[in-house]
Amino acid sequence: MRCQHDIIFRDLARDHVDTAALTTMRTMIADLAARGAEGVVLGCTELAMLLPADGEELPCRVWDSAEVHSEAGVDFAFGGEGAAEETLRGFPPPLAEMGLSTSPDDP
């Protein structure tokens, strides 16, 4: 099985998505869920290209880091709490327990 590094730098960074990459990523997510993961963070913005667009269910919750950062940036820029906070709610462990906040008003 190919590793994430190869998928990111040999394929996705060059706008190439193939069936093998899709299968590999879905297998990795399924394996993590089978071992007890409640969610997976796609820590590279290109990895979201491998998310199912056809409504296919994944075995656990998946966060797209580009989407989370974009929503947080908009919330921060406009001083409101919205989609970014909702996206992060329930993320294990809760941000509050880690001493972090998504609110621009918190130091």
pLDDT, residue 30, reads 92
Q: Name 56's Cβ contacts closer than 8 Å, sequence gap at least 6.
A: none
pLDDT, residue 82, reads 64
Is residue 19 helix, strand or coil? helix
CA separation for the pair 61, 58 (Å, rounded) = 7
pLDDT, residue 32, reads 92
Per-residue pLDDT tens digits of the chain, which is 107 residues long: 467 778 888 888 888 888 888 888 889 999 999 999 999 998 888 888 887 766 578 889 888 888 888 877 877 776 666 655 655 555 444 445 555 554 545 44
CA separation for the pair 101, 8 (Å, rounded) = 30
Tokens found for residue 6: 């190869």
pLDDT, residue 33, reads 94
Cα angle, residue 22 at apex, residues 2 and 37 outer, rounded to 5°: 80
